[in-house]
A and B are shown apart, each in its own frame.
Chain A
Amino acid sequence: MPFFAGDIFVSEVHRKPVLDQAGEEIGKLTDITVGQSDPFPAVTALVVTSAKHTYLIPWDQVNLFNKRVISANILRDKITAVDIPPSEILICRDLLDKQIVDINGAKLVRVNDLKLGDVNGRMSLIAADIGLRGILRRLGIESRGERVLSLLHYRLQNVLIGWHYLQPVEPKLSKLTLTVSRQKAAQLHPADLAEIISEVSSKERSAIFGSLDVETAAEALHELEPSVQADIIDDMSKEKASDILEQMPPDEAADVLGDLPEAKAQELINLMEKDEAEDVQELLEHEEDTAGGLMTTEYLAFPPDMTVDDAIRELRLEAPDVETVYYLYITDDQERLLGVLSLKNLIMARPETLLQDIMRSPIKTLPLDAEQKDVAEFISKYNLLAAPVVDENNTLRGIVTVDDVVDFLLPPASRKKRRKL
Chain B
Amino acid sequence: MINRIKQFFERNRFAAILSVIGPGLIAGNAGNDAGGIATYSIVGAREGYGLLWALLLITFALAVIQEMSARMGVVTGKGFGDLVREQFGVRVTLAIMGLFVFANLTVTIAEFAGIAASMELFGVHKYVSVPLSAMVVWLVVVKGNFKQVERFMIGISLVYFTYVVSGFLANPPWKEVARQIAVPHLKMDRDYFLLFITMVGTTVTPYMQFYLQSAVVDKGVRIEEYPIAKYDAYVGAFMTVFIAFFIVLCTGTMLHPAGIVIDSAEDAAKALEPLAGQFASHLFALGLLNASFLAAFVLPLATAYGLSEAFGWESGINKTFSEAPQFLGFYTAFIVIGAGIIMIPDVPLIKIMFLSQTINGILLPIALVIMLRLVNDRSLMGDYVNSRRMNVVTWITVSVLIALTAMLLITSLLFPA
Contact = CB atoms under 8 A, between A and B. Distances in A.
Interface of A: 96-99, 107-112, 130, 135, 138-139, 198, 200-202, 204, 227-228, 231, 412-413, 416-417, 419-421
Contacts of B129: none
Interface of B: 76-78, 82, 85-86, 89-91, 93-94, 145-148, 219-220, 222-223, 311-312, 314, 316, 318
A139 B91 contact: yes
A420 B220 contact: yes
Nearest to A227: B222
Nearest to A140: B91
9 contacts: A110-B85, A139-B90, A139-B94, A198-B220, A231-B222, A412-B147, A412-B148, A419-B220, A420-B219
Contacts of A111: 312
Contacts of B89: 96-97, 138
B222 A412 contact: no
Most buried by A among B91, B94, B222: B222
A202 B91 CA distance: 28
Contact of B220 (A138, A139, A421): A421
A413 B220 contact: no
A135 B90 contact: yes
A125 B78 CA distance: 27
A97 B85 contact: yes
B222 A419 contact: no
A32 to B, nearest CB: 16
Contacts of A99: 82, 86, 312
A98 B87 CA distance: 9
Contacts of B223: 202
B147 A130 contact: no
Given A201-B77, A419-B220, A420-B219, 19 more contacts: A97-B85, A97-B86, A97-B89, A110-B311, A110-B312, A112-B90, A130-B312, A135-B94, A138-B89, A138-B90, A138-B91, A198-B220, A200-B77, A202-B223, A227-B222, A412-B148, A417-B318, A419-B318, A421-B222
B76 A98 contact: no
A179 to B, nearest CB: 26
A139 B97 CA distance: 15
Nearest to A135: B90
Nearest to B78: A201
Given A109-B312, A231-B222, A412 B145 contact: yes
Contacts of A96: 89
A369 B76 CA distance: 41
A108 B312 contact: yes
B311 A135 contact: yes
Contacts of A201: 76-78
A416 B145 contact: yes
Contacts of A198: 220
A108 B78 CA distance: 13
Nearest to B75: A201
A289 B320 CA distance: 31
Nearest to A105: B314
A202 B77 contact: yes
Q: 6 tightest A-B contacts by CB?
A: A110-B312, A201-B77, A416-B145, A420-B220, A138-B90, A421-B220
A126 to B, nearest CB: 20
A139 B318 CA distance: 33
Nearest to A137: B90
Contact of B314 (A97, A107, A138, A412): A107
A340 B220 CA distance: 43
Nearest to B382: A203
Nearest to B309: A110
Contacts of A200: 77
A107 B308 CA distance: 13
Contacts of B312: 99, 108-112, 130
Nearest to A92: B89
Contacts of A130: 312
Most buried by B among A97, A108, A109, A111: A97
A97 B220 CA distance: 23
A243 to B, nearest CB: 24
Contacts of A412: 145, 147-148
